[in-house]
Amino acid sequence: MSDKRIKSTLISVYYKDGLEEILKTLHDLDIKIYSTGGTYNFIKDLGLPAETVESLTTYPSILGGRVKTLHPSVFGGILARRENPEDLKQLDQFKIPEIDLVIVDLYPFEETVRTVDDEKEIIEKIDIGGISLIRAAAKNFSDVLIISESSQYPALLELLKIKNGYTSIEDRRRFAAEAFKTSSYYDTLIFKYFNRKEGVETFRESINSAYHLRYGENPHQKGIFYGDPDSLFDKLHGKEISYNNFLDIDSALSLIDDFNETTFAIIKHNNACGVASRKDSMEAWKDALACDPVSAYGGVIVTNVTIDKAEAAEIDKLFFEIIIAPEFTEPALEILRQKKNRIILKRKTKTDDQFRFRSLLNGVLWQEKDSRTESASDMKPVTKKVPAPGEYDDLVFANKIVKHSKSNAIVLAKNKQLCASGIGQTSRVDALKQAIEKAHTFGFDLRGSVLASDAFFPFSDCVEIAHKEGVTAVVQPGGSVRDKDSIDFCSANGMAMVFTGIRHFKH
């Protein structure tokens, strides 16, 4: 199929930025321009010739601008199949000109939802004519080129100049695919706005930005992150972020957001291997690292405070992949940047995601985000002994960590420092034994420590083992038919136990 020459274009855009050079190029190529309202005025102000859409339709823009291009004289010129004699005959019969290029920039619905609360104003930003033009031109890509958003202006300008106003079927098909991407994204935004209250049970997500990764979870797998990491943090240094890096970053930020006091955490394979909360940030770092300095090697470091020169000098002694903080002093950055591949992320804002979903089988699992974080007031004592104030602090601390640990999970903590955790075990007893062994490996005395479990104890075996190690207080959700066994053992042996009523499975 030979290239087709663009003879006429219809332009209807909301934002005019970047349009001027395209208009001048269209004029130089002797391409006739039809346009609507504000776009027409913009073209005339540039001193360029154009005709109004009203000259095609013989109708003015009506209903406050709601109806401008919705007319057979417009859509006939776009949808007519140039190889179909009957279509061409009807164009001639009704004096409808062929339209070979459509340029549209939709009403800014997404921006309006983000910045405006007035529903009437939001509804008026639902584009009707523009989205219809996009779909019509994309459907007829055999004959028509569609530009569906202003980000495509540079590509259009290059195409016009290189090919002198001609387009190939490959060009038109590529832009048609982009057009349906634009329309599906726009419709998804509108649906999600309405579905905030209506609760229609269907899965709709659409993300335009794609962050290409070196590979997926393993080198033989392709990987892409669909999202906009630049809106969440500034990458100040280092290599490209990998698939596994993104998983660890998500785990790190989810964990640190549950802490208000000065805290450092170290993440390895999506689980915390070091966490400490202190008044002094240097102490928080050193105590977080002391939890498991072996696993910390090659990990992801996250904190909720500024990193200064002294802390950077200490942190720099460890090999790690990524460090995340709300702020870095310039002397700190000078130290941390000495390793060329080390990724340094300055956090800008917290994510506002409320839902989680993952693909599996032939569908998607959807759920609300686990945003519950229990305080001491949420912990109901169920034993004779009630936790002391310091034990409550540690129980809250440990419960935050176990919430973000892979199930089955047990966390041992003391003085707001992670002593050890047992994670991803098929048995809760095995998780506890793993945590105890790790704590001993790194010299922790578990006498006076606390234990947090992500789910209930089906038997009393875990609290019996914990008691032998000197654990004095336990937090768990409760809910087992044999809760009484664990409660009775703790009460008989001077241990405190509290129930939260909230399970924190993480798979």
Q: What residues are labeled active site?
A: 139, 269
Residue 370: which region, alpha, beta or left (left: phi > 0; alpha: psi -120 to 50)? beta
Cβ(25)–Cβ(101) below 8 Å: no
DSSP state of 47: T
Distance between first and last Cα of the chain: 53
Please count the residues of the chain. Answer: 507
Instruction: Give 283-352 as a DSSP string.
Output: HHHHHHHHH-TTTTTTEEEEESS-B-HHHHHHHTTS-EEEEEES-B-HHHHHHHTTSTT-EEEEE-----
**CB–CB of 285/314 below 8 Å?**
yes
Q: How far apart are CA 26 and CA 159, in angstroms?
A: 11
Rg of the chain over Cα atoms, rounded to whole angstroms, equals: 31
Helix axes 129-139, 169-198, angle to 10 degrees: 140
Token representation of residue 323: 């460090």
The helix (H) or strand (E) run that includes residue 38 is helix 37-45
Tokens for 123, please give them: 């509804």
In what helix (H) or strand (E) does residue 486 lie, and over which residues does it extend?
A: helix 483-492
Q: Where are the beta strands (DSSP E) in 403-491?
A: 410-414, 417-422, 450-453, 473-476
What tokens were used for 87? 């279509």
Instruction: Name residue 320's beta-bridge partners.
Output: 299
Element holding 191 (H helix, E strand) = helix 169-198
Residue-wise burial string across 133-170, b where 16 or more C-beta atoms lie within 10 A, e elsewhere = bbbbbbebbebbbbbbbbebbeebbebbeeeebebeee
The whole-angstrom separation of Cα 343 and Cα 149 is 33
Residue 389 corresponds to which amino acid? P
Nearest in space to 265 (alpha carbons), one of 249, 276, 281, 254: 276
Q: Rounded to whole angstroms, how far apart are CA atoms 296 and 289?
A: 7
Cβ atoms of residues 371 and 403 within 8 Å: no
Give the residue among 277, 210, 238 at the shortest CA–CA distance from 413.
277
**Which tokens is 202 given?**
């269907």
